[in-house]
Amino acid sequence: MAQDFSLRCYCYIDRMQAQYAAFVGSVTQGDLPTEGMAALYVEMAPGNEVFRIVDVAVKATEARPGAQIVEREFGMFEIHSTSQSAVLEAGQVVLDRLGLSINDRIRPSVVSTQVITRIDPYQSQLINRFRRGSMLVPGETLLVLECAPAAYINYAVNEAEKSASIKVIHVSSVGRFGRMWLSGSESEIITARDAAIRAMESLEGQPE
């Protein structure tokens, strides 16, 4: 393994929630996941390493690739299956091939959070222009949460949906930072925010 290799994210999702799975299905170019599937997100640098590692992962088990993305700095892929054991096995094969353990990943950090109550109609229209999930309705409370490395935002939004009655507006998980936009009542948004932060803080790893 190259000396400058970095395992930026290794993130296992045990059960994809309904809205999150639907959102992923609307943006992915690979195999489509559905609610209840297990998933694994892996982000790395240099980005081109992702092509070799995806090949290793999908040959190992029945887990199928949903995303394979390489941008300027990093590469990221996602695999999923109805079998949690298949996803976990594929992930272990990836770690073994890299000669790393899960604790070699970068630990996620919450970069910023914003809770905006009674969203203005003009603001909601601006956000609706780029969203790929639910519509943001004027008067709702909006949560915008940003984390690094970017791919961990997938874990955060799935855990938020587990814990609160919210709407998934949009998720961006590529680049230097990951971001999620959620809406709902103020109390549910606070619950979702706290669940997302708590979930990321529970993950072990190395400082970036």
Residue 41 belongs to domain with CATH number:
3.30.70.1710
- Do residue 93 and residue 115 come from a single domain? no
pLDDT score of 4 = 82
1 lies in some domain? no
Q: What is the dihedral of CA 64, 1, 9, 45, to 10 degrees?
A: -100
DSSP annotation string for 54-115 = HHHHHHHSS-EEEEEEE-SS-EEEEEEES-HHHHHHHHHHHHHHHT--GGGSBPPEEEEEEE
Question: Would you state the pLDDT for residue 24?
Answer: 97
pLDDT of residue 43: 97
- Distance between CA atoms of residues 118 and 126, nearest Å: 15
Residues 99 and 126 in one domain: no
Identify the segments of the chain with pLDDT beneath 50: none
Last residue of a domain, one of 87, 104, 121: 104
Q: Is residue 206 part of a domain?
A: no
Residue 165 in contact with residue 196, Cβ under 8 Å? Answer: no
- Token pair for 189: 């948004």
Range of the domain at 60: 6-104
Question: What's the structural domain count of the chain?
Answer: 2
Q: What pLDDT sits at residue 151?
A: 97
Is the CB of residue 44 less than 8 Å from the CB of residue 53? yes
In degrees to the nearest 10, what's the CA dihedral of 22, 26, 29, 31?
Answer: 20
pLDDT for 66: 95
In a domain, 207, yes or no: no
153-163 vs 18-27: helix crossing angle, rounded to 10:
150
Phi, psi of 80 (to 5 degrees): -150, 165
Q: What's residue 72's pLDDT? A: 83
